[in-house]
Structure 1
Amino acid sequence: MPNQSIITFKDVVKEYDDQPILNHVDFEIEKGKFYTLLGPSGCGKTTILRLIAGFTDATSGEIYLDGKKVNDIPANKRKVNTVFQDYALFPHMNVFDNVAFGLSIKKMAQQKIVEKVKEVLKMVQLSGYENREISEMSGGQRQRVAIARALANEPEVLLLDEPLSALDLKLRTEMQYELRALQRRLGITFIFVTHDQEEALAMSDEIFVINKGHIVQSGTPVDIYDEPINRFVADFIGESNIVKGNMMDDYRVKFVGKEFECVDAGMRENEAVEIVLRPEDLEITAVEKGKLKVKVDTQLFRGVHYEIVCSDTDQNEWVIHSTKKAKIGAEVGLYFNPEDIHVMRFNETEEEFDARLEAYEEE
């Protein structure tokens, strides 16, 4: 049985001072999944979060929460809670009072408040911290207090607006694991906003890639990474080598003056396309064994791999991630498999892209 949609946007437009921020956005979010809204600053991802929460109104279109239209429902009447980038904790209150704040506003009985606060602090691994002052908490602990305060209200959807951005790299990584584990344990819907593509890939069940007020592509992290729909997605999600080419026929593509076998089909003969090859899919080999001949220009050690930059005779730049060191100035071959080549059409919509993939996957 398919999962039930908990949030639906139908042709939603949002304008500020007659400037469009969201352009006719449509999507559905299912219950019990971890979603990420991913895109550069100003793309509209936080606006989507604010529309779901009820902090701002749509210029036009319809928004549904659990099947009920909520355009005119105020924020405090929606089963949604938000964890903000700065956590918005009250510095003059201790942990207990911060977590209990929303419950007190609802005039819940004191004994029930105590039970609920203890329950949610246990969920976020902060049992025993009830009397700790906020000023005495680390960044990661403050984030968990903010999450506990949100969970105390028993939301159906938890919205997280770049809550990891203020943390150092090690703590960010730890909190990614904690958030993902918490979502799975609770089984409620998380909607996470970030501009960090590694964060999105690591944590999400599904990602919405947003650019200039449009959802450019949606899908699982693996689908979006392996099959980017256009140059923006390929560049934004991971590192990419992108060159121009022509689709000669089904499963045959030409770029940098040579024809190669590939796994893409369903395009016009000799159609102009763009080619993506990920750096980790390129293998440095002897010139005679390579499919391309390049010269090694620079390399940097990145810890788990060397990042090697090469160029071909047409001055195309090729970035390779390899565990083996290269020699600057050497001529080498680049080897890759047909399935490593991803072909992107110009101006293809996500619906056309999905239909084309389904067509040749069924062959």
Structure 2
Amino acid sequence: MRKPIISFTDVVKRFDDDVILKGVNFEIEEGKFYTLLGPSGCGKTTILRIIAGFSEASQGDVFFEGKRINDVPANQRQVNTVFQDYALFPHMNVFENVAFGLKIKKLPKNKIQEKVKEALRLVRLGGYENREISEMSGGQRQRVAIARAIVNEPKVLLLDEPLSALDLKLRTDMQYELRELQQRLGITFIFVTHDQEEALAMSDEIFVLNHGEIIQSGTPVDIYDEPINKFVADFIGESNIIKGTMIEDYLVEIVGKQFECVDGGMRPNEPVEIVIRPEDLSLTTVDKGKLVVRVDTQLFRGVHYEIICYDQDGNEWMVHSTRKAVEGSQVGLFFEPEDIHVMRFNESEEDFDARLESYEE
């Protein structure tokens, strides 16, 4: 069991009459890669700023290794931040940018040389010490910013959407590099993004936020396969979300038909919403399908066709298939019981976890 390094207890943040964080509680364990994920304005960057000491909590407590740090100034916290715009000094070369914090601490020159060289090696910029910032690519500048942060040997590295300015291919490459760097360093990374694929690819754990609250937390697999509600299911990847009725444990009704599922712990005949991911739906013939739908449109996405269909009740179904469909034709949709995920209305994460445990025992 890893030790908690950062925890929030009932943290509230207000700006005048606006409540940005609404009693946030969480624990961050040392040595993991965490992602704060959510739409713009959900409070994720505010959490990062409170951890860094750039902003104060209006209420509640922030702890670092078990000690309350609400009143500890930013320069005395064992964290460093990589900003969205990198905040590099354009008049300094790579070495001077990375060495800046060490010079402020008045470390000996030979120690600074040693630390900067090691930090640049870790981000694969060895030999770039004398390069001007204006001569660096976007990906190289991002690595300089990371080197400047890790050279101070923080226990926690905070990253505020540092990949947002990069093109798609470079962004994907940097995702691999950041994940590998975190594993090599063994320090805690807390990464802020609104990009769901980025969060799923890089994280050990994800906190999904909306309107100043953590809606759900867990591993990428947990969040993707077991979303707690429509917001999470819709925000994390593509989803088919359909209203239904939980007839009894492991039996749900949708589109007037009953299907076996793997969910339980709900009231008989309780109204619910069900999620089936597009990649879990297979196209088949009408007689073999569990549902019959009419193909409306399709787009080729490179690795699959994205096919939009409608059932008899007018519900839209998205299917990801390597097979091309015929627009206007009727087809069957096939899925397994484990492909159906049932969501209750207004269920808290605590109640959701308790329900899972109750019927998994």
The whole-number CA distance in structure 2 between the counterparts of 1:107 and 1:277 is: 58
Secondary structure at the residue paired with 2:318? strand
Which residue of 2 is the match for residue 9 of structure 1?
8
The whole-number CA distance in structure 2 between the counterparts of 1:352 and 1:184 is: 33
Name the TM-score, length of structure 1 as normaliser: 0.99
Range with bigger deviation, 105-114 or 55-64: 105-114
Amino acid at match of 1:253: V
Long gaps (5+) in structure 2:
none
Q: Give the drift of 1:309.
A: 0.3
User: What are the residue-to-residue correspondences of 1:106-121 with 2, within 5 Å?
Assistant: 106-121=105-120
Which residue of 2 is the match for residue 284 of structure 1?
283
Which residue of 2 is the match for residue 260 of structure 1?
259
Residue 248 (structure 1) aligned with residue 247 (structure 2): yes
Residues 77-105 of structure 1 deviation map (CA, whole Å, 9 limit, x = unaligned): 00000000000000000000000000011
Residue 346 (structure 1) aligned with residue 350 (structure 2): no
Which residue of 1 is the match for residue 269 of structure 2?
270
The whole-number CA distance in structure 2 between the counterparts of 1:32 and 1:228 is: 25
The whole-number CA distance in structure 2 between the counterparts of 1:253 and 1:315 is: 19
The whole-number CA distance in structure 2 between the counterparts of 1:52 and 1:18 is: 22
Q: Give the drift of 1:267.
A: 0.1
The whole-number CA distance in structure 1 between the counterparts of 2:125 and 2:311 is: 56
Which residue of 1 is the match for residue 66 of structure 2?
67
Aligned residues with identical type, % of pairs = 76
Amino acid at match of 1:340: D
Q: Give the drift of 1:68.
A: 1.1
Q: Where does structure 1 differ by over 6 angstroms across 4 or more consecutive aligned residues? A: none
What is the root-mean-square deviation of aligned Cα atoms in Å? 0.4
Which residue of 2 is the match for residue 214 of structure 1?
213
Which residue of 1 is the match for residue 163 of structure 2?
164
The whole-number CA distance in structure 1 between the counterparts of 2:284 and 2:27 is: 46
The whole-number CA distance in structure 2 between the counterparts of 1:220 and 1:279 is: 21
Residue 27 (structure 1) aligned with residue 7 (structure 2): no
The whole-number CA distance in structure 2 between the counterparts of 1:199 and 1:110 is: 39
Name the TM-score, length of structure 2 as normaliser: 1.00
Residues 246-286 of structure 1 deviation map (CA, whole Å, 9 limit, x = unaligned): 10000000011111000000000000000101000000100
The whole-number CA distance in structure 1 between the counterparts of 2:312 and 2:25 is: 45
Q: Give the drift of 1:361.
A: 1.3
Long gaps (5+) in structure 1:
none
Amino acid at match of 1:121: L
Q: Give the drift of 1:18.
A: 2.3
Amino acid at match of 2:94: V
Which residue of 1 is the match for residue 102 of structure 2?
103
Residue 326 (structure 1) aligned with residue 351 (structure 2): no
Residues 186-240 of structure 1 deviation map (CA, whole Å, 9 limit, x = unaligned): 0000000000000000000000000000000000000000000000000000000
Which residue of 2 is the match for residue 77 of structure 1?
76
